[in-house]
Amino acid sequence: MKFQVLSIVPHSPHPLTGELPSAADRLEQVVELGAEAERLGFDAYAIGERHAGPFLSSAPTVLLAALAARTSRIRLLTGVTVVAILDPVRVAEDYATLDQLSRGRLELVVGKGAEAGHFDLFGLDESRQWELQEERYELLRRLWTEEGVDWEGASRPPLRGVTTIPRPYAGPPRIWHGSATSLRSPELAARHGDPLFTANAIQPREAYARLIAHYREKFEEYGHDPAHARVAAGSGGLLVADTPELAVRRYKELYEAKVAQSFRPHLAGRTGYNTPFRTIEEAVADGPQLIGSPEQIVEKVLDFHAHYGHDLQSVTVDGFGQSTAEQAETLQRFAEEIAPVLRKEAPSTLWES
């Protein structure tokens, strides 16, 4: 198994103290944590993209460029690139530039995004989200694999003989498809033989297992070798303590205050927007959150693996308002006490020659 750190750069007052760092300090924290993730041996670092709500991730290319300058080995991913609201020509240019700057360390995760408000912000009809997602992804794919592209569609003006510059560093970067609630993303990934990145962040495990099972079934139906069906999984936040009991005592107030703070009433009832695991005990027992002792977390990730068969596990440490030092300590414990066991118990050839 490989390991990634993901940040969607949340920027809201601390759920217990009300403290709010400046935007500059918060962005610096994200870059520092990426450098620390590389030092600790993580395989990838990802930045999300949000255009609504209390987040500072509206310009992931800028943040990833800063990370490219501070690192030399770690892969740089997105989580996700909201291709449904973006011009594929701009996406192709921006991320190929980033791929060049990082000398081929870039991979995209594309999706329609987890915020309903961004379609209105960009003047788009949310009811067309899947049509936009599919058409714009397929144009991006052509722009990175072909030169002199001729194209016509419903989501932007036609193209005639277009070759985007720069070209990617060493061929088209791998594109994953982010999947949270709908079968549409697994279907699109399977059709093109692309890997799937399941959110695994809010809903019960069975909801994500259904998406992955659909992906694997369709991947083979479309004529691809099932051995090449790569899957990654996110998580609902990482908090590590010496024992299960200490984890609950130490983080109960923080976790439950954060759940209450992040609840979005206008999206109540819409799958994938509000966690059903409102107490820490529920989250530890049944949720996608990785909270507990190292042994507990190993057991939960291996349980995910038994149902998902995933190659890459993503963790998030900046969702609860902890300091940079606390986040770095959490990543260090994961890297030293959890990751080695998982690498041995669930080996993967992802990113190996």
pLDDT in tens, 334-353: 999 999 999 999 999 999 97
User: Is residue 139 assigned to a domain?
Assistant: yes
* pLDDT at residue number 116: 67
The overall average pLDDT reported for the chain is 95
- The number of distinct structural domains making up the chain is 1
User: Is residue 172 assigned to a domain?
Assistant: yes
Bridge partners (DSSP) of residue 313 are 3, 233
Q: Quick one: pLDDT band at residue 75, thresholds 50, 70, 90? A: very high
Rounded CA separation 60/118 (Å): 15
Cβ within 8 Å of residue 146, ≥6 positions away: none
* pLDDT at residue number 236: 93
* pLDDT at residue number 113: 80
User: Is residue 101 assigned to a domain?
Assistant: yes
What average pLDDT does range 256-273 have in this prediction?
A: 82
What average pLDDT does range 205-213 have in this prediction?
A: 97
User: Is residue 72 assigned to a domain?
Assistant: yes
Handedness of CA 202, 326, 54, 232 (dihedral sign): negative
Taking Cα atoms as reference points, which of 227, 234, 225 lies closest to residue 203?
A: 234
User: Is residue 80 assigned to a domain?
Assistant: yes
Q: What angle in degrees, to the nearest 10, is found between the helix axes of 23-39 and 324-333?
A: 20
The domain spanning residue 78 has which CATH number? 3.20.20.30
Which tens digits make up the pLDDT trace of 122-180?
999 989 999 999 999 999 999 999 999 999 999 999 999 999 999 999 999 999 999 99
- For 237, the 3-state DSSP assignment is coil
User: Is residue 251 assigned to a domain?
Assistant: no
Q: Which domain holds residue 33?
A: 2-237+309-320
Q: Which pTM value belongs to this model? A: 0.96
What average pLDDT does range 266-295 have in this prediction?
A: 90
User: Is residue 122 assigned to a domain?
Assistant: yes
Q: What angle in degrees, to the nearest 10, is found between the helix axes of 184-192 and 205-221?
A: 30
User: Is residue 342 assigned to a domain?
Assistant: no
